[in-house]
Structure 1
Amino acid sequence: MKLRLTLVLAGLVSSLIPALAADPAQKQSIAQREFFYIGGRYRGAGAGEVMTGQMYVEVLRPVKIRRRYPLVLIHGAGQTATNWMGTPDGRAGWADYFLSEGYVVYMVDQPARGRSAWHSSTNPMLTAMSPAMVAQRFTAPEVNGNWPQAKKHTQWPGSGPGKGQKGDPIFDAFYATQVEYVASNAETEPMMQAASTALLDRIGPAVILTHSQAGLFGWPLADARPKLVKGIVAVEPSGPPFEDVLTGVDGKARAWGLTDFPLTYDPPATGASDLKVVRDAGPDGPGLATCWKQADPPRQLPNLKDIPVLIVTSEASYHAAYDHCTARYLSQAGVRNTHLRLTDVGIRGNGHMMMLEKNSAEIAAKLHQWIAANVK
């Protein structure tokens, strides 16, 4: 029995070796995994005293570091660092891919989120996304997404009529990772600004990769630490400038153009009301939102102008309708950027959670290629 078990196990291991070798995302070698907390301050007194605003940071170091700058991966609303650690159908995540390319990888849980403590006595109110909202926006927009590109979505893993919806095992595995988050971006941005600047002050220069809501955090981080942010990869960043469209409550938003948080403009803007904005006469084409921009002459964003920026947009996401407005706003403000629509490089069918979809490794490879070519 012992001999037979040994032979079975040996056969199992040998059968796995070719599969592992064939998957580039499995070639990574972790030399060290560690974590720490950054930022935070004590609030309250006596038995009610707590630390608030601290941010959980997980670090993966490859056996051989081949990239000059590490990557800092910052997740979006309702998410945590699990977005980068693996996919709901069991494949390697973007953290593993970038580790295999020789990057040191930092992953965070936003303050008051996930492993970064939230305290009812000190932190703002929380909200959460329902299964129906997650399915509509992220995993099955082809079923009931309310934007023109939604029907093009094909890349969420799984099969059958319930794919991407409650009750499907892959959807349920993803929804299990969803957490409550601070409802107000205006309250989240100062917490992230304090924690993320403290992180860069500790680790030094880095490339920042943001997703969705985290796009709000990359711009002010670069504004505050322009010498330490060597590049920004903004995967479908929160937008568009000045207005919510499609999935939000239509109306004014991001009063500073890219954020609710003050940014450094030239000539200086003492308040968001100093930014004079106008709306384009109409959309650039079918299925696209009409953009808002600064009136001429536009104020510039001097602290961002020397930082290379990549904005990434998938074919079927709600961002397909308006990420061009964010790219155009950056250009108008003197910030060089590349807007990569994945369809331009033959990658089709993706939604907003592209780092979890069937072709996630192919997309990560495109991001790596851009970083290698543009970040010096």
Structure 2
Amino acid sequence: MRMGSRACALAVLLGAGLGGARSEEVATTRSVFFVGGHYVGAQDAQVMDGAMYVERIAPARPTHPLPLVFFHGAGQTATNWLTTPDGRRGWADEFARLGYVVYLVDQPARGRSAYHPGLDGPLRAFTAPALESTFTATESLGTWPRAKAHTQWPGTGERRGRRGDPVFDAFYASQVEYLASNADTQRLVQAAGAALLDRIGPAILVTHSQAGPFGWLLADARPALVRAIVALEPSGPPFEEAIRSTGPARAWGLADIPLTYDPPAAQAADLRTAREERAEGPDLVPCRLQAAPARRLPRLAGIPVAVVTSESSYHAGYDHCTVAYLKQAGVDVTFKRLEDEGIRGNGHMMMMELNNLDITRSIDRWLGSIAP
């Protein structure tokens, strides 16, 4: 479905009413299409399930040979990347300015990707108080050690980051219901994401939060087509929850559904684990990793990975475990703690925060460092 082949402006679509702020215009072409999906149901009443919405934004003169494919996290849609809740330039626009072709998706059964009751399973949603305490007002409501360092959420006044502040309200208005089952979500995205890569060719994946497993699963399914992965605070740590909750999770280490290991693991229980006796440092959790000898992830071998973690997010306490697991499995991974680069005060929703463009430039520099 073509939305227009002429040059057009990537302008603010959300939040433009907040003080009249608008993104700087960028000459692009834009198109929309769908990938994946299959017909299900009785012959005379079939519907298409599992299809995924994709939006392509291309600068007039791309300067990078590989496109970026962005996968949003839980409760979000592709609008995450288009703008910020206070109407500043979003990552899609900025990476187009930097010369990349950009693909944005809505996960299957979410947003503009059709959800079918009775086929796609139960839904859940974030409450406004949960977002305040987890993402936007953590300096006062967060309960993990580094939460108080959060300074970059936009807004002003005593209600900044909370209900009643126009920026928070614009952010919460963008939230949508999402599938309750992580495993079902990962299966749907792996199938539709593989179809997308088959269509567009080699690409760099950018994943955020709940979408973290998608990067590993798509590299597993299409290793020749995934050339790099930028994992923004990916779902973790391996095998269990930490910081905000406890209990088993991600039975396959990095995902809830099977990954290819060497030696092979026929079932998740084949992955023997051991917890570190002590954490690597203050404010960090001890990691549960593979017991020696560790199985490797052969289809991720040779694919450069950057795990990007902000200073004050709850992920700051455990993303090092995901990095350690990837290294243990033979993956070429770089751990980018933003504060080590002088990018301070960010929370989990870094792509929307006041210094969001500083982070895009950091990612762009890393991508330049791995270019052949």
Query: Which range, TM-score by smaller chain?
Result: over 0.9
> What is the correspondence of 1:1-376 to structure 2 with a 5 Å cutoff?
26=24, 28-30=26-28, 32-45=29-42, 48-248=45-245, 250-376=246-372
- The amino acid that maps onto 1:337 is V
**Identity, % of aligned positions:** 58
Secondary structure of the structure 2 residue equivalent to 1:366: helix
Deviation of 1:48 (Å): 4.0
Structure 1 residues 71, 58: CA separation in 2 closer, same or farther (over 3 Å shift)? same
Aligned counterparts of 1:220 and 1:116: Cα–Cα separation in 2: 20
**SS of corresponding position for 2:214:** helix
How big is the shift at 1:49?
2.3
**1:226 positional shift:** 0.8
> Cα–Cα, structure 1 residues 375 and 224, in superposed 2: closer, same or farther, change >3 Å?
farther
Superposed CA deviations along residues 170-206 of structure 1, whole A, max 9, x for unmatched, are 0000000000000110111100010000000000000
* Aligned mates of 1:91, 1:39 — CA distance in 2: 33
TM-superposed deviation, 1:27: 6.0
**Post-superposition offset of 1:282:** 1.2
TM-score (structure 1 length as normaliser):
0.92
1:43–1:122: 8 Å Cα contact kept in structure 2?
A: no
Q: Give the number of the structure whose alpha-carbon radius of gyration is greater.
A: 1
* Structure 2 Cα separation of the partners of residues 262 and 61 of structure 1: 34
Pairwise CA distance, 1:247: 2.0
1:46: how far off? Answer: 5.4
Helix, strand or coil at the partner of 1:41: strand
- Give 1:44 shift: 1.3
Residues 171/242 of structure 1: CA separation in 2 closer, same or farther (3 Å cut): same
Structure 1 residue ranges (4+ consecutive) displaced by more than 6 angstroms after TM superposition: none
Structure 1: give runs of 5+ residues left out of the alignment. Answer: 1-22
Indicate the SS of the match to 2:231: strand
Q: Distance in 2 between matches of 1:166 and 1:231?
A: 38
The residue identity in structure 1 corresponding to 2:336 is: L
Q: 1:65 and 1:347 mapped to 2: Cα distance?
A: 27
- Give the C-alpha shift of residue 341 in structure 1: 0.3
Residue 29 of structure 1 deviates from its aligned partner by 1.6
**Shift of residue 160 of structure 1?**
1.1
Q: Do the aligned partners of 1:26 and 1:100 also contact (CA within 8 Å) in 2?
A: no
CA distance in 2, matches of 1:358, 1:313: 16
What SS is found at the alignment partner of 1:163?
coil
SS at match of 1:26: coil
Q: Provide the rounded CA distance (Å) in 2 between the counterparts of 1:310 and 1:75.
A: 17
Task: Work out the number of aligned pairs and report it.
Answer: 351
What is the alpha-carbon root mean square deviation over aligned residues? 1.2
